A and B are shown apart, each in its own frame.
Chain A
Amino acid sequence: MPASNVLQTQVLIIGGGITGAGIARDLALRGLNCILAERYDVNAGASGANHGLLHSGARYVSNDATAAEECRQEGELLKKLAAGCIEDTGGLFVAIQGDDDNFVADFPGLCARSGIEARPLSLEEAREMEPVLSDKMVAAYQVPDASVDPFKLTLENILQARSLGSTLLRHSEVVGFEIENRRIVRTRLKNLLTDEEFLVEAEQVVNASGAWAKSVAALAGCPVNLLYSKGSLLVTHNRITQKVINRLRPSSNADILVPGGTVSILGTTSIRIEDLSAIHPTVKEIDYILEEGSAMIPALEKMRYIRAYAGVRPLLGSTTAGDDRSVSRGFALLDHRENNLTNFSTITGGKLTTYRLMAEKTADLVCQKIGTTAPCLTRTEPLPSGTGAKWTKPGLTPKLWAKHHDPDDQLLCECEMVPKSVVDSLISSIHEQNGTPDLKALGVRSRIGKGACQGTFCALRTSAYLYDTGEVKGDEGLNGIQAFISERWRGIRPLLWDTPLIQAELQEAIYCGMFGLEIKSCSTIL
């Protein structure tokens, strides 16, 4: 293999979710050089498929006091240090007629035990805060929950790590490890865009691949015991509430509604799965979430939904049966010295809210192995708010557009009002990260395709723009449209009735009826 295909670094981190991004930033702040390798794109797994909820901890007080306390501490820290990624909405816990009275009665005491402030509200107060709450509400508490933008959070962690000299490699899948003398001396990766293999030589290798931690560790012959729990969520067309709304009952389906910008997110389910290759929300799950959610907020039954998605929670293995929610939501940091590998560790499990703590513990272990004593700075250093990571927030681009725009700037996405200038800045930041600015990559980093037209119009406009700017050539743009639409489709498919169904028909009428995109490969038969 030519030398240009061998990269050197101090720490190779596998997995471009929030955990990997947090570790990269933590280590970079301690002066270490890292490569963050991601198979697809940032937040491709559970980091990109969750509620965007910054837990106060109240959710876990009854079954996992440690997790509750960690959430409380980390939530308080992040509100101070990553304020740009967080909307401090506050949250409510509400009980509905028929919910377990004992659970309701125990709640304030359990919160107090974990140091979480839970303020009892009269039903009138609660309804004044959130008029959509059900008439059948019987109890309500206010807690310090908040809403967090997981994309912005991950991107900003990566941005700072990069500014300190670390590197992000997208589309780079780990395919093997070369082991000598109880050390990983080289990691073999494959660039999924070019199919070319390359090597990374690192002193330490960290496996932060979330639900995929088991299969990555297995490549090094290390066992990681994980269970997979799929959760599906729904995005509403409008924001339904100002605060996070939790159902005050033991954790169950569809009992959290989280606002984020101009939308709200309802979920989730918890379904044990064995196979990580087919993670998509099903019609059955969506109907179930709607029925459950509307007990708390009846308006959810008739709401327009724009998207559904599913993520996989990596849960720490135990062989006991039962609801996966009772399995620990805590995290595990595994030092594979136990498996005879001195420079390999795995971090998995955990929650978005506690990502910083997970990163700190992992970085501590890595530093100890490398033999550096640099202290963790993420507990005190604010996360810088970068410019490349702000376009994911619902409602932000329309706000800026209304305030000011260059007369030469065009809207490429009209539903979410994403202009050319935003796409330009995303293109250059993707280039800086050695990425390929195709439609999918732009979709991850902006609101393109997330509005009412489901990508029908903005995909065509943005693709034409990518051709104009020379970012795509040949039929790459058409393939990009297909990939983008397929990706969006997974989230739209279970929601197709009423207006979204009409939108889907229009999309097919244009893409297939008008343009014949589905037969382009066969068109030479004529």
Chain B
Amino acid sequence: MEDIKEITCELAVVGAGMTGMAASLFAANRGIDTVQIGVASQIIFSSGLMDILGVHPVEEGKTWDDPFLALDQLMADLPDHPYARVRKNHILKSFQEVTDFLAEGGLVYQVNKGRNTRVLTSLGTLKPTYGVPLTMWNGVRGLEEKQPGLIIDIKGLRGFSALQIAETLAPEWPGLKHARISFPDMQKAQEVYTEPMARSLAVPENREKLAGLIRPLAKDVSIVGIPAILGIQNPQDVQQHLEEMIGCPIFEIPTMPPSIPGLRIKETFEMKLPEKGARLKYQNRVSQISRDKDAFLLEIGSGSPVSRVRARGVILATGRFLGKGLYADRKAIREPLLNLPVYQPGLRPEWHRFDFMDPRGHLINRAGLEIDDQFRPLDNTGKPVFDRLFAAGSILAHQDWMRMKCGSGMAMATAYAAVNSFIEATR
């Protein structure tokens, strides 16, 4: 039992979603000895779009052209929202620091300065967002200018229909053509998946084969949209190579999960964070956290713990129900790691609306941890539970990232705030 490996660090970041990744980056960039622990499996559910704020108030479904004007309104209307506790300029700073880092790793994001952008999805909807993977940017322009376009889908890639996109988008982008191809060397497969296709495009010959299939279809159009499978690393290079061979701009369309743009974020962090000095433990979850005199003790792995981390401070970025940061039984919502108090939005009959698409959103999405301005979770008397325990991201109460379209921005801004608070607390 006692030969369990124990490592010591200044800051332990628990969770491997966008918030945990961003927190580890900010900490490492500031010279903090950081260990990040968690399972990064949920990120394939991310479209790779980086929202800052798209909708407020949700009950009105009001979408915003300028996310920063929207933020002013939100901070005034919802003083308990996590955004209302961060400095406004830190929202853009944290976004910049993350996207600079990703660009260093070969994953470039594009923004429409100070404005939200509408990005075409595989459903044919237009999703308002802020940071857009460069591989999708041509589509943004193509839509604005209503360029003669072609959407390509792939035989066996379920849930992605070029015809559906053309039909649904017709009022906004008329005249879109559609075509289906078989992915090179996968013609026989009845079902094809995004990840093997993306990985195969790392090989230039496979790109040549793919371009050879698309080129004859793209004769009369000036832009081509395809499912988001343009490689995992350096997708811009894959895109550029294909464009040269096809002879016109192409763009990616985010697909239903498993989503390659989400996977790219994960792989870039995984590859580049250690270079910044952060130590990553992405194989196991933290199963228990305890506190002795002045350090936190984190047990990693379930059953008999695999290893142990001793840290001066902890940032809890374990997410919501899907990430296992929150858990609900029939009676109540709990925080399973430290049994922290959770803001309860009423009893179970009130958790969810009768209509899934109720514009007001579901009350359960407002559940989560209550924090102070230092992002420290509070106990039932309103005092911080521990002086160096911080929480960030979607586990926080009084927000609804899915309806507000603020997931990534909130993840980064609150991680930024939590890291800053850790620095202040340990100075």
Partner of B322, one of A457, A486, A509, A519: A509
Are B161 and A465 in contact, CB atoms less than 8 angstroms apart? yes
Instruction: From known contacts A515-B121, A525-B63, infer whether A464 and B329 are also in contact, taking CB-CB under 8 Å.
Output: no
Among B47, B63, B257, B356, max chain A CB count under 10 A is at B356
* Cβ contacts under 8 Å, A70 to chain B: none
Are B168 and A505 in contact, CB atoms less than 8 angstroms apart? no
Are B125 and A517 in contact, CB atoms less than 8 angstroms apart? yes
Contact with A along B285-302 (1 / 0, CB 8 A): 000000000000000000
Are A464 and B322 in contact, CB atoms less than 8 angstroms apart? no
Are A513 and B163 in contact, CB atoms less than 8 angstroms apart? no
Least CB distance from A271 to B in Å reads: 15
Q: Does B348 contact A (CB under 8 A)?
A: yes
Are A510 and B164 in contact, CB atoms less than 8 angstroms apart? no
Contact with A along B45-65 (1 / 0, CB 8 A): 111000000110000011111
Are B127 and A516 in contact, CB atoms less than 8 angstroms apart? yes
Which DSSP category, helix, strand, loop or mixed, fits chain A's interface?
helix
| Shortest Cβ distance from B124 into A: residue | A478
| Shortest Cβ distance from B351 into A: residue | A496
* Cβ contacts under 8 Å, B359 to chain A: 518
CB under 8 Å from chain A, chain B span 53-104:
54-55, 61-65
* Cβ contacts under 8 Å, A457 to chain B: 159, 256
Q: Does B303 contact A (CB under 8 A)?
A: no
Least CB distance from A442 to B in Å reads: 15
Q: Does A193 contact B (CB under 8 A)?
A: no
Least CB distance from A266 to B in Å reads: 15
Q: Does B170 contact A (CB under 8 A)?
A: yes
* Cβ contacts under 8 Å, B402 to chain A: 508-509, 512-513
* Cβ contacts under 8 Å, B125 to chain A: 478, 515-517, 520, 523
CB under 8 Å from chain A, chain B span 339-363:
348-349, 351-352, 354-357, 359, 362
Contact with B along A489-526 (1 / 0, CB 8 A): 11001001110011011111111111111111111111
* Cβ contacts under 8 Å, A377 to chain B: none
Rounded to whole angstroms, the CA-CA distance of A190 and B163 in the bound complex is 32
Rounded to whole angstroms, the CA-CA distance of A485 and B170 in the bound complex is 24
Are B63 and A284 in contact, CB atoms less than 8 angstroms apart? no
Interface size on A, residues (CB 8 A): 61
Are B356 and A489 in contact, CB atoms less than 8 angstroms apart? yes
* Cβ contacts under 8 Å, A280 to chain B: 354
Which DSSP category, helix, strand, loop or mixed, fits chain B's interface?
loop
Instruction: From known contacts A461-B159, A474-B170, infer whether A516 and B121 are also in contact, taking CB-CB under 8 Å.
Output: yes
Contact with A along B170-190 (1 / 0, CB 8 A): 101000000000000000101
Least CB distance from B62 to A in Å reads: 7
CB under 8 Å from chain A, chain B span 116-133:
116, 118, 121, 123-128
| Shortest Cβ distance from A478 into B: residue | B168
Among B164, B362, B407, max chain A CB count under 10 A is at B164
Are A284 and B349 in contact, CB atoms less than 8 angstroms apart? yes
* Cβ contacts under 8 Å, B123 to chain A: 460, 478, 481, 515, 517
Are A505 and B322 in contact, CB atoms less than 8 angstroms apart? yes
* Cβ contacts under 8 Å, B365 to chain A: 508
Least CB distance from A278 to B in Å reads: 8
| Interface footprint category on B | 35 or more
Rounded to whole angstroms, the CA-CA distance of A283 and B346 in the bound complex is 13
Partner of A283, one of B118, B126, B321, B348: B348
Q: Does B390 contact A (CB under 8 A)?
A: no
Rounded to whole angstroms, the CA-CA distance of A504 and B353 in the bound complex is 12
Are B45 and A506 in contact, CB atoms less than 8 angstroms apart? yes
Are A283 and B63 in contact, CB atoms less than 8 angstroms apart? no
* Cβ contacts under 8 Å, B47 to chain A: 514
| Shortest Cβ distance from B192 into A: residue | A410
* Cβ contacts under 8 Å, A475 to chain B: 124, 167-168
* Cβ contacts under 8 Å, B191 to chain A: 410-411
* Cβ contacts under 8 Å, A113 to chain B: none
Contact with B along A255-285 (1 / 0, CB 8 A): 0000000000000000000000000101110
* Cβ contacts under 8 Å, B170 to chain A: 474
Contact with B along A457-486 (1 / 0, CB 8 A): 100110111011000111101100110011
Contact with B along A63-107 (1 / 0, CB 8 A): 000000000000000000000000000000000000000000000
* Cβ contacts under 8 Å, B20 to chain A: none
9 extra A-B contacts, CB within 8 A, seeds A290-B330, A486-B355, A486-B357: A410-B190, A412-B158, A485-B357, A493-B354, A496-B364, A501-B321, A515-B125, A517-B125, A522-B62
Binding site for B on A (CB under 8 A): 280, 282-284, 287, 290, 407-412, 457, 460-461, 463-465, 467-468, 472-475, 477-478, 481-482, 485-486, 489-490, 493, 496-498, 501-502, 504-526
A selection of 20 A-B contacts at a CB cut-off of 8 Å is A290-B330, A407-B188, A410-B156, A473-B167, A477-B168, A478-B124, A485-B356, A493-B354, A496-B364, A501-B328, A507-B356, A509-B322, A510-B257, A513-B401, A516-B128, A519-B54, A519-B55, A520-B126, A523-B128, A525-B62
